[in-house]
Chain A
Amino acid sequence: MSRIGVFICHCGENIGRTVDCVRVAHNLENVPGVVHSIDYKYMCSDPGQALIKQAIRELQLDGVVVGACSPHMHEKTFRKAAAAAGLNPYLCEMANLREHCSWIHEDRERATDKAIGLARFMVEKIKYNRPLATIRIPVERRALVIGGGIAGIQAALDIADGGREVILVEKEPSIGGHMSQLSETFPTLDCSQCILTPRMVEVAQHPNIQLLAYSEVESVEGYIGNFQVKIRRKARSVDEIKCNGCGECQKNCPNQKIPGEFDRGLGMRTAIYVPFPQAVPNIPVIDRAKCAFYRGKAKGVKKAVCGKCAEVCGPKAIDFDQQDSFVTEEVGAIVVATGYQLYSIGKAQESETLRGYGEYGYGAIPDVIDGLQFERLASASGPTGGKILRPSDGKEPKTIVFLQCIGSRDRAKGIEYCSKICCMYVAKHAILYHHKVDHGRAIVFYLDIRAGGKGYDEFVRRAIEESHALYLRGRVSRLFRNGDTICVHGVDTLSGEPVAIDADMVVLATAMRAQPDIASLAQKLSISYDRHGFLNEAHPKLRPVETNTAGVYLAGACQSPRDIPDSVAMASAAAAKVLGLFSNELLEREPLIARVDQLACTGCFHCERVCPYGAIERKQLKDGKGRVIKIVAEVNQGVCQGCGTCQATCPSKSVELEGFTDEQVYAAVNAL
């Protein structure tokens, strides 16, 4: 009943040299179901393909087996040729006679026998192939961007400029991310705020961007082209529509002495606050843990303890009773740009395997600060107005020591990777310090200098040669207070000499780490992450911004430590992927996915437990009167990626993976 054509390719001499292609073709001719079996010098050439097409048309073939190279090489070619001749492309299979046979064996006899065996596998398998139709899924052409740092901003703007709607979700009260905290940026020393703020404003004003600040992704359902995202809008206690951003509330808030997160504790904020003056949106939020009104309420005081902000608010925007609310958005693609956190070096260590650097006195010695705190000191909008002053006494430090690789590249402390940006920002700090402090002395302890990038090495040279920073190769073993100064004990490994420096200030270049709550987000999105918590790309070289879940893309430091140019490039790449996806109303995909035999399915849902994509859904089977007979598994065609783990797990084999069904595998094994 089958009318199978077998086409054995010599691949020039590649297969023909070790495999007797004529004998293979002759042998296959005698297999039941095969009506045509030939060999040819180059099957993939135009005349070779023409032979296949001609045979399909003239002999009404219902299956084609091409014995040639690896299907990874030419499966598409031959399936296309089959389709051009009117045969369903999934009725064409390849036997790998080159990579898996002629190229790895010398004995012509045995190689030929094996080639016959391999071709037989495919002939038997193809008898059970079914014509399959490409699956077309409608695409909701709006995107969600998670994270409003520079990567998220760039991705949102690029997608929005491409004419598609974007929902940008940021968990903090303002977008801007870490970049908004920076003073200047390497290697050009342009002011971070000056280049970032216009982009933040553009986000706020873009007609295609809907900004949801102070919000978090609660759950994600669906699949590529069709995600349903539930977003929690955290209660600001301020009505976003009424608020005009005048700032009266902040001026009148009695609690003015809260260490501000934006200034890394070096500056103070109020209980109702905007994180920084250029915040977008420029709407304050009440820190309920610190606000007298809420504290009073929590203690059970009947009369309102405070309410100053509400009293002075012109548009009556303060809403003490505001609750978290939820919105659900339909999107077709998701860009994850959740950024990073810094290695916690303080006394309070998170559990995990990380061990801190108690020996460096961070948190105990006030003039030991981290790199981001130095950025705030150097920033014109920072707590010191851009002057480098010691947190302890406000004096200008005349000797400053920078320590590189705090946390990074240190297996003993739990992180073996390089944080990539520290070499560069320490050089920047040394230059900024030189600009700001007359006759100051900057000393840098480093392990290696990694300055790969356009203008990067020149920049480090500039720190050394023009800003006269003293670079010492080695680690610091200990810091301690010595009266007014900090005694820094280390070793210069190039000279082999121990070094002791009396420093006025010490800056620790701490490692970049994955966000602490990344596992929960990754689970919501069904994407994977490495053991450090950085999100995994689909392929480290060829698919760097995609993930293994179709329709979910990565941008910036959530994937690995990245600097600003890298993050922006990645964000634009992710945006290009999203716009590519959105260029068609329908998404086409291979039909090699699972399908459930619902009559046989018992509904034990082992398949649901093993499916890596959550593609198994529960469906009620009803009788004519609408009564539920049983609940069975159903495969969501958009979500299934075709791994087949469900089928191997199903005890009754009531789920089949198209293209690799039990009958197909069974037939191949039977050809042994």
Chain B
Amino acid sequence: MASSFEPNIVAFVCNWCTYTGADLAGTSRISMAPNVRIIRLPCTGRIDTLFILKALERGADGIIVSGCHPADCHYTAGNYHARRRFAIFRDLMEFVGIDPHRVTFSWVSASEGGKWAEVVDRTTERVRRLGPFRTYPRLARGAGE
């Protein structure tokens, strides 16, 4: 059953590194899983933890958050601030039982088209194994209680 399951994954990526890296994967015709849809933001600094919660709520089975490597941020420091925010949020998520394996954080530069494809494929595979994440969206119906 798990193998036929096609996870729904949203990627929040920064415009300058990862989005451009994903463009490069395209121009290099690197094949990857079609499960990931990208939402473009200027910087990882703009990526709010609320986006992650809302995406899970809307039925995403997995999330990717990706941006510029340390020291490469187009805006000099957005990724450093994001890194702290995500680190603490990830600890909290894990603590309340939301499996952190559903959320991939990565640094993918504009020149790492291949790495982007790997992140997409690895995340898709991992989330496929974890199965659909229905528990969280269903909490609204009291299904979990």
Among B22-30, B92-100, B101-109, the one that faces the other chain is B22-30
**Could you say which residues of chain B place their CB within 8 Å of the CB of A528?**
76
**Could you say which residues of chain A place their CB within 8 Å of the CB of B40?**
71
Asked if residues A645 and B81 are in contact (CB atoms below 8 Å), the reply is yes
**Could you say which residues of chain A place their CB within 8 Å of the CB of B75?**
548, 612-613, 641, 643, 645
What are 16 residue pairs bridging A and B, where the CB atoms are less than 8 Å apart in the complex?
Answer: A70-B19, A72-B19, A99-B27, A104-B29, A118-B38, A548-B74, A610-B45, A610-B77, A643-B46, A643-B74, A644-B41, A648-B85, A669-B51, A669-B54, A672-B10, A672-B55
Contact with B along A494-535 (1 / 0, CB 8 A): 000000000000000000000000000000001010100000
**Could you say which residues of chain B place their CB within 8 Å of the CB of A121?**
37, 39
Of chain B, the residue at the smallest CB distance from A644 is B46
Among A35-43, A208-216, A660-668, the one that faces the other chain is A660-668
Min CB–CB distance A145 → chain B (angstroms): 23
Residue A111 interfacial (CB < 8 Å): yes
Given A100-B23, A104-B26, A669-B39, 20 new contacts (CB under 8 A): A96-B23, A100-B38, A103-B29, A104-B34, A107-B34, A118-B37, A121-B39, A643-B42, A643-B78, A644-B46, A645-B43, A645-B45, A647-B46, A648-B45, A648-B47, A648-B81, A665-B48, A669-B54, A669-B55, A672-B8
Residue B32 interfacial (CB < 8 Å): yes
Min CB–CB distance A519 → chain B (angstroms): 14
Partner among A70, A118, A649 whose Cβ is within 8 Å of the Cβ of B23: A70
**Could you say which residues of chain B place their CB within 8 Å of the CB of A665?**
39, 41, 48, 51
**Could you say which residues of chain B place their CB within 8 Å of the CB of A644?**
41-43, 45-46, 78
Of chain B, the residue at the smallest CB distance from A646 is B45
**CA–CA, A548 and B71, complex, Å:** 12
Asked if residues B31 and A106 are in contact (CB atoms below 8 Å), the reply is yes
Min CB–CB distance A504 → chain B (angstroms): 47
**Could you say which residues of chain A place their CB within 8 Å of the CB of B46?**
643-645, 647-648, 657, 660
Spell out B's residues near A (CB within 8 Å): 6, 8, 10, 19-20, 22-27, 29-32, 34, 37-43, 45-49, 51, 54-55, 58-60, 71, 73-78, 81-82, 85, 117
Most chain B CB within 10 A, of A111, A648, A662, is at A648
Of chain A, the residue at the smallest CB distance from B24 is A99
Contacts A104-B29, A104-B30, A672-B10 given: A643-B117 contact, CB under 8 Å? no
The 9 closest A-B pairs by CB, nearest first: A99-B26, A644-B46, A645-B45, A643-B75, A643-B43, A103-B26, A672-B58, A99-B23, A612-B77
Contact with B along A104-127 (1 / 0, CB 8 A): 111100110110011001000000
Of chain B, the residue at the smallest CB distance from A531 is B71
Of chain A, the residue at the smallest CB distance from B58 is A672
Contacts A99-B23, A669-B51 given: A612-B78 contact, CB under 8 Å? yes
**Could you say which residues of chain B place their CB within 8 Å of the CB of A256?**
none
**Could you say which residues of chain A place their CB within 8 Å of the CB of B30?**
104
**CA–CA, A197 and B115, complex, Å:** 53
Partner among B48, B58, B76 whose Cβ is within 8 Å of the Cβ of A648: B48
**Could you say which residues of chain A place their CB within 8 Å of the CB of B77?**
610, 612, 645
Contacts A98-B26, A100-B22, A648-B85 given: A672-B59 contact, CB under 8 Å? yes
Asked if residues B58 and A645 are in contact (CB atoms below 8 Å), the reply is no
**CA–CA, A660 and B40, complex, Å:** 9
Of chain A, the residue at the smallest CB distance from B8 is A672
**Could you say which residues of chain B place their CB within 8 Å of the CB of A70?**
19, 23, 26
Min CB–CB distance B83 → chain A (angstroms): 12
Residue A670 interfacial (CB < 8 Å): yes
**CA–CA, A643 and B79, complex, Å:** 10
**CA–CA, A526 and B76, complex, Å:** 9
Of chain B, the residue at the smallest CB distance from A609 is B81
**Could you say which residues of chain B place their CB within 8 Å of the CB of A166?**
none
**CA–CA, A263 and B134, complex, Å:** 77
Contact with B along A532-576 (1 / 0, CB 8 A): 000000000000000010000000000000000000000000000
**CA–CA, A38 and B8, complex, Å:** 27
**Could you say which residues of chain A place their CB within 8 Å of the CB of B45?**
610, 643-645, 648-649
Chain A: how many interface residues by the 8 Å CB criterion? 46
**CA–CA, A666 and B74, complex, Å:** 24
**CA–CA, A592 and B22, complex, Å:** 22
Residue A642 interfacial (CB < 8 Å): yes
**CA–CA, A95 and B73, complex, Å:** 24
**CA–CA, A641 and B78, complex, Å:** 11
Partner among B23, B32, B41 whose Cβ is within 8 Å of the Cβ of A72: B23
Min CB–CB distance B28 → chain A (angstroms): 8
**CA–CA, A666 and B10, complex, Å:** 13
Asked if residues B37 and A114 are in contact (CB atoms below 8 Å), the reply is yes
Partner among A114, A526, A612, A666 whose Cβ is within 8 Å of the Cβ of B34: A114
**Could you say which residues of chain B place their CB within 8 Å of the CB of A71?**
40
Of chain B, the residue at the smallest CB distance from A547 is B76
Asked if residues B55 and A649 are in contact (CB atoms below 8 Å), the reply is no
Contact with B along A73-117 (1 / 0, CB 8 A): 000000000000000000000001011110111110011011001
**CA–CA, A103 and B29, complex, Å:** 5
Asked if residues B39 and A649 are in contact (CB atoms below 8 Å), the reply is no
Asked if residues A610 and B22 are in contact (CB atoms below 8 Å), the reply is no
Asked if residues A660 and B41 are in contact (CB atoms below 8 Å), the reply is yes
Contacts A99-B27, A121-B39, A648-B47 given: A669-B22 contact, CB under 8 Å? no
Of chain B, the residue at the smallest CB distance from A527 is B76
Partner among B6, B38, B42, B71 whose Cβ is within 8 Å of the Cβ of A642: B42
Partner among A110, A530, A610, A647 whose Cβ is within 8 Å of the Cβ of B48: A647
**Could you say which residues of chain B place their CB within 8 Å of the CB of A592?**
42
Min CB–CB distance A220 → chain B (angstroms): 16
Most chain B CB within 10 A, of A104, A110, A526, is at A104
Asked if residues A610 and B41 are in contact (CB atoms below 8 Å), the reply is no
**Could you say which residues of chain B place their CB within 8 Å of the CB of A610?**
45, 77, 81
Asked if residues A612 and B76 are in contact (CB atoms below 8 Å), the reply is yes
Partner among A104, A647, A657 whose Cβ is within 8 Å of the Cβ of B32: A104
Asked if residues A105 and B41 are in contact (CB atoms below 8 Å), the reply is no
**Could you say which residues of chain A place their CB within 8 Å of the CB of B38?**
96, 100, 118
Asked if residues A111 and B34 are in contact (CB atoms below 8 Å), the reply is yes
Min CB–CB distance B92 → chain A (angstroms): 15
Of chain A, the residue at the smallest CB distance from B25 is A104
**Could you say which residues of chain B place their CB within 8 Å of the CB of A118?**
37-38
**CA–CA, A660 and B45, complex, Å:** 12
**CA–CA, A280 and B46, complex, Å:** 50
In the complex, which residues 609-651 of chain A have their Cβ closer than 8 Å to any Cβ of chain B? Answer: 610, 612-613, 641-645, 647-649
Min CB–CB distance B15 → chain A (angstroms): 8
**CA–CA, A641 and B75, complex, Å:** 8
**CA–CA, A530 and B72, complex, Å:** 11
Of chain A, the residue at the smallest CB distance from B85 is A648
Contacts A645-B82, A672-B59 given: A117-B37 contact, CB under 8 Å? yes
Min CB–CB distance B76 → chain A (angstroms): 5
